[in-house]
Amino acid sequence: MSTDYIAVSETSGAELDELLASAEEAAPPWDQLGPTQRATALRNLASALDNAAESLVSLAQQETNLAEGRCRSELGRTTFQLRLFADVIDEGTYLEATIDSVDENWPSGNRPDLRRMLVPMGPVLVFAASNFPFAFSVAGGDTASALASGCPVIVKAHPGHPQLSAATAQVVAQALRDSGAPDGTFSMIYGDESARTALTDSRVTAAAFTGSLRAGRALFDLAVSRTQPIPFYAEMGSLNPVFVTERAADSRGDEVFAGFVDSYTLGVGQFCTKPGLLFAPAQSNAENVIAEAVKDRSGAPLLNERVERGYSETLEALSNHPALRTVVQGKNGSQGPSPTLLTTSVQELVKHADELLVECFGPTSLLVTYYDERELLTAAQSMEGQLTATVQGEENDPIAEELMAELRETAGRIIWNGWPTGVAVSWAMQHGGPYPATTSPAFTSVGTTAIRRFLRPVCYQSVPQALLPLALQDKNPLGIPRRVNGSLAWQ
Amino acid sequence: MSTDYIAVSETSGAELDELLASAEEAAPPWDQLGPTQRATALRNLASALDNAAESLVSLAQQETNLAEGRCRSELGRTTFQLRLFADVIDEGTYLEATIDSVDENWPSGNRPDLRRMLVPMGPVLVFAASNFPFAFSVAGGDTASALASGCPVIVKAHPGHPQLSAATAQVVAQALRDSGAPDGTFSMIYGDESARTALTDSRVTAAAFTGSLRAGRALFDLAVSRTQPIPFYAEMGSLNPVFVTERAADSRGDEVFAGFVDSYTLGVGQFCTKPGLLFAPAQSNAENVIAEAVKDRSGAPLLNERVERGYSETLEALSNHPALRTVVQGKNGSQGPSPTLLTTSVQELVKHADELLVECFGPTSLLVTYYDERELLTAAQSMEGQLTATVQGEENDPIAEELMAELRETAGRIIWNGWPTGVAVSWAMQHGGPYPATTSPAFTSVGTTAIRRFLRPVCYQSVPQALLPLALQDKNPLGIPRRVNGSLAWQ
């Protein structure tokens, strides 16, 4: 493929209507291809993206200020993700196939033959994010999991990388077509207005979003105020607090504080898992170590102007807050902002929680000092929903158990002696959390179970074998794990 | 226990605040009891309800106009349900325990030790229904599944059976206390105002509702417009269409039409799965057979005055609609309403879908005639979300496959040659569907998977064994099925 410029313009009402009609029409045949052929389509798509890596990575670099290495590894993550979802649907547990045989003596009354499985919801609208131009954009996790589930996808392109989006969309559409997917299985739209129109269109059955709290909440409000509300899965970022116990600060404070700096400045602080808060003992050398590590770091450009503007505004508001002190003031040179470090105490933080506990998307973090380790519990309790929470502690820390229990109420992922940046795509990953980290605490947007967002259960009662979906037929032609009369069974 | 009158009054703001504080406080210890002890508590609760059967059934009869046999069997269903959820948490699959070991060569980058499981959301608000004073009320399915998941429950009592509610609540509270549950694990409130206050209180983390579309939607709107929106699972009834193919009408029409009458008049038509629509060939004898079966049926009292009023109003609106013809006009004698049958054609139904496709909660149904079997597909496409859809057909019916595929898009349960009334409590049951059947198409309110509504995933990263929940420790002390490195494992 070439890197020719692709003309990009806002999707018109008529175009949108056609795309939605096409997506609706594609829903049954895309599902009916079956898991095996859909898995093949996803693998073909992954290969097609790999084959287009040179031009895609080059476009990504041009449009996002991200380095080549980062773009390459992110593309690798993206194609791996597509292949992993192919494995998920090949394996088949995700269908939750369940069979209850006729049981005349069943205690809730004569039980007919009941067979339950998950089926795709229908066309899914995916809002691409700016900070992962591959992994959370056109062919990212939301698209991969929705396509895997059997749902057609309409992607709303992020304006931060329009050319990359268009080029990626061409690869996706072509690869799906070549794999036997019906027209309308995948399409892309441009512009906020068309996205809002799509979100309120009855043909769209669910939507997924990664981005800011403000945008996510506005779209959530639209989705749930429809005549027919739909599930809206928004991942809206997080403060990702890190709690350093006294013992950890004593025994390996320097290492911990240096690690914190690496994590919060990684990718110029533009990860939704960036640790924006570090709780450390007031008597530790946290401030000095972090300041020392930060002050000579050079600046780096943010993703785009919109991100820059948002970062400057949030940082200015925080810097001017009387409860915060600026330890290191990042410079905003021609290269982009260098890291900033602010500080306060737990007491002040809790007192001004509403103003201080806001995500600052970029290379800024807040060091929060405590005098008594029990304050960590107070701090944890003051947190709203988080994607992650991290404890830097020792196993025999008297506070560890209580703190972990407290954090479980708040966070989707709890990290011990590690860092929240870096989200593995795997079976056990959870990327989500209570509001405002997401709008849907019961789900994840990364990892194999992300597919569950676009599925709904259907029960077949007394349906003859010939009219049952393959997943529910006696002979188990798909060879998938199922639950039969309450017991797990392989076939 | 006695059947002494229990004074019932609207819950005051101060009382509510205390109950919510108590529920919030109970959340961690109730969860920490662990699945085994929670299972025991659920079984004790079931036994306590069985032991109180005489007085509870007597109260139910007094307050709901339901016959003794129905009350007894419903109580039996309710205690069975509690015991089944005890089995579910003993078995442990519901935790979705998943372990990914360290893998430095994992394609998405160095994979740390990741362990994921589901944890309870926190206090759940349950809105009791009027039509199942046991199975969907104080100790019904929502309460059972929320308690099983490890969430404290606050029930909003239904005003249709206040004494039964109070007596049931006493049994529940006592049984839970006797089983070691912390205070606040279960409580009950009265009054719409306190329910709305509770629903918007930050301590309530999820809510479940069974009732009308109007009430359900109003509460859903409240729940999603909170500063921190919460999952609101409303089951709001349905029309439950029945589609009779030409061959079925030819070969066994009399039996089918008689069965339909039995189903739509069962429980005086007060089930959310009552079939409110029957599609039959115009040339069949459907109208005569149904009219004949219906016309001599005696009246029976509805649940309460509110239900009576709603039924009369909806029926009047439908009867006066120019597109409908009344075949049998039910009498509204001192005993209560006898069944009504209305009729129209598919063409008229589709034309006036907005006015005609409304649930009429009570013993009324609409016979819709077609001239060409393909009209069944048109009719199916015109349906909004349904709890159930039924096909009365023959296996070799040319339309069967297409019709089943169409209905899958609309309904939560598809019944073949049976009737939608009667919802088995089992592993494969699905009681839900796209809006407006429910607000949450991805979930069910009946069957073992109803527990999933009140759980959210948490991932533990690199956490030492001693700080991991039992479900995720290497030794698998709970002995539950888990997914380890992508494979299902019993160990």
pLDDT in tens, A281-306: 999 999 999 999 999 899 999 999 88
A362 and A270 Cβ atoms separated by less than 8 Å: yes
**At A389, is the secondary structure helix, strand, or coil?**
strand
A24 is annotated as an active-site residue:
no
**DSSP bridge partners of A381:** none
What residues of chain A, 19 to 38, have a C-beta less than 8 Å from chain B? Answer: 28
The chain A residue lying nearest B123, using CA atoms, is A409
B461 → closest Cβ in A418, A440, A458: A418
Flag whether pLDDT at B237 surpasses 90.
no
Predicted confidence (pLDDT) per residue in B37-67, tens digit: 999 999 999 999 999 999 999 999 999 999 9
Predicted confidence (pLDDT) per residue in A182-213, tens digit: 999 999 999 999 999 999 999 999 999 999 99
DSSP one-letter string for B330-385: --EETTEEPPEEEEEEHHHHHHTHHHHS---TTTEEEEEEESSTTHHHHHHHH---
Q: What's the rounded mean pLDDT across residues A96-103?
A: 98
The whole-angstrom separation of Cα B380 and Cα B243 is 9
Please state, for a pLDDT cut of 90, what percent of chain B lies above it.
94
Predicted confidence (pLDDT) per residue in B71-122, tens digit: 999 999 999 999 999 999 999 999 999 999 999 999 988 899 999 999 999 9
A99 → closest Cβ in B417, B422, B428: B428
**Among A323, A265, A274, CA closest to A294:** A265
Cα of B405 to nearest chain A Cα, Å: 8
The whole-angstrom separation of Cα B145 and Cα B147 is 6
Predicted confidence (pLDDT) per residue in A225-258, tens digit: 999 999 999 999 899 999 999 999 999 999 999 9
pLDDT (0 to 100) of residue B43: 98
In chain A, residues with a C-beta closer than 8 Å to the C-beta of B442 are 121, 231, 452-453, 455-457
Q: Which of A443, A467, A483 to mutate to test the interface with B (most CBs of B within 10 A)?
A: A467
User: Quick check: B458 contacting A, CB < 8 Å?
Assistant: yes
Q: Kindly report the backbone phi and psi dihedral angles of residue A14, in degrees, each rounded to the nearest multiple of 5, phi listed first.
A: -70, -40
Cα of A425 to nearest chain B Cα, Å: 6
The pair of three-digit structure tokens given for residue A413, joined into one six-digit string = 């992922």
Report ipTM for this prediction. Answer: 0.97
User: Quick check: B479 contacting A, CB < 8 Å?
Assistant: no
Predicted confidence (pLDDT) per residue in B339-366, tens digit: 999 999 999 999 999 999 999 999 999 9
Flag whether pLDDT at B3 surpasses 80.
no
The whole-angstrom separation of Cα B108 and Cα B111 is 8
In chain A, residues with a C-beta closer than 8 Å to the C-beta of B402 are none
Of these residues, A63, A272, A287, A406, which one is catalytic? A272
Residue B334 vs residue B437, higher pLDDT: B437
Flag whether pLDDT at A2 surpasses 50.
no
Amino acid at A405: A
The pair of three-digit structure tokens given for residue A286, joined into one six-digit string = 């946290």
pLDDT (0 to 100) of residue B471: 97
A428 → closest Cβ in B91, B116, B426: B116
How is residue B417 annotated by DSSP?
Answer: S
pLDDT (0 to 100) of residue A285: 96
For chain B, give the mean pLDDT: 96
- Cβ distance of A395 and B467 shorter than 8 Å: yes
Collect all residues with Cβ–Cβ distance below 8 Å to A491 and sequence separation of at least 6.
A476, A479, A482
Predicted confidence (pLDDT) per residue in A374-384, tens digit: 999 999 999 99
Amino acid at B336: G
B78 and B135 Cβ atoms separated by less than 8 Å: yes
Flag whether pLDDT at A279 surpasses 90.
yes
Cα of B333 to nearest chain A Cα, Å: 32
Predicted confidence (pLDDT) per residue in B240-255, tens digit: 999 999 999 999 999 9
pLDDT (0 to 100) of residue A3: 54
Cα of A140 to nearest chain B Cα, Å: 13
Angle at B8 between CA B5 and CA B9, to 5 degrees: 160
pLDDT (0 to 100) of residue A490: 61
Q: Please, where are the H alpha helices in B12-154?
A: 13-32, 34-51, 53-64, 68-91, 141-149
pLDDT (0 to 100) of residue B442: 97
User: Quick check: B461 contacting A, CB < 8 Å?
Assistant: yes
What residues of chain A, 424 to 443, have a C-beta less than 8 Å from chain B? Answer: 424-430, 432, 434-436, 439-443
User: Quick check: A191 contacting B, CB < 8 Å?
Assistant: no
The whole-angstrom separation of Cα B243 and Cα B390 is 6
pTM of structure? 0.97
Amino acid at B62: Q
The pLDDT-based confidence of B8 (bands split at 50, 70, 90) is confident
Flag whether pLDDT at A346 surpasses 60.
yes
What residues of chain A, 212 to 231, have a C-beta less than 8 Å from chain B? Answer: 220-221, 224-225, 228-231
The chain A residue lying nearest B411, using CA atoms, is A458
**DSSP bridge partners of A209:** A127, A234
In chain B, residues with a C-beta closer than 8 Å to the C-beta of A115 are 428
pLDDT (0 to 100) of residue B489: 80
- Cβ distance of B428 and A122 shorter than 8 Å: no
B115 → closest Cβ in A112, A428, A453: A428
pLDDT (0 to 100) of residue B1: 45
Cα of A225 to nearest chain B Cα, Å: 7
In chain A, residues with a C-beta closer than 8 Å to the C-beta of B426 are 100, 106, 108, 111, 114
pLDDT (0 to 100) of residue A109: 84
User: Quick check: A282 contacting B, CB < 8 Å?
Assistant: no
Flag whether pLDDT at B2 surpasses 90.
no
pLDDT (0 to 100) of residue B271: 93
Length of chain B: 491
Counts of helices then strands in chain A (DSSP H, E): 15, 19
Please state, for a pLDDT cut of 90, what percent of chain A lies above it.
95
- Cβ distance of A428 and B98 shorter than 8 Å: yes
B175 and B206 Cβ atoms separated by less than 8 Å: no
The chain A residue lying nearest B430, using CA atoms, is A459
A59 and A240 Cβ atoms separated by less than 8 Å: no
Flag whether pLDDT at A267 surpasses 60.
yes
Flag whether pLDDT at A451 surpasses 50.
yes
B272 is annotated as an active-site residue:
yes
The chain A residue lying nearest B115, using CA atoms, is A428
Question: For residue A15, with 0-12 CB atoms within 10 Å meaning exposed, 13-18 middle and 19 or more buried, which class applies?
Answer: middle
Q: Kindly report the backbone phi and psi dihedral angles of residue B162, in degrees, each rounded to the nearest multiple of 5, phi listed first.
A: -65, -40
Predicted confidence (pLDDT) per residue in A27-64, tens digit: 999 999 999 999 999 999 999 999 999 999 999 999 99
- Cβ distance of A114 and B429 shorter than 8 Å: yes
A467 → closest Cβ in B401, B425, B435: B401
Cα of A484 to nearest chain B Cα, Å: 9
Question: For residue B360, with 0-12 CB atoms within 10 Å meaning exposed, 13-18 middle and 19 or more buried, which class applies?
Answer: buried
- Cβ distance of B404 and A467 shorter than 8 Å: yes
In chain B, residues with a C-beta closer than 8 Å to the C-beta of A229 are 220, 224, 435, 439
Amino acid at A38: R
User: Quick check: A321 contacting B, CB < 8 Å?
Assistant: no
The whole-angstrom separation of Cα A339 and Cα B354 is 58
The pLDDT-based confidence of B300 (bands split at 50, 70, 90) is very high
How is residue A103 annotated by DSSP?
Answer: B
The pair of three-digit structure tokens given for residue A118, joined into one six-digit string = 């998950």
**Within 13 Å of residue A417, how many CA atoms lie on the same side as its CB?**
17
Predicted confidence (pLDDT) per residue in B477-488, tens digit: 999 999 999 999
In chain A, residues with a C-beta closer than 8 Å to the C-beta of B76 are 107-108
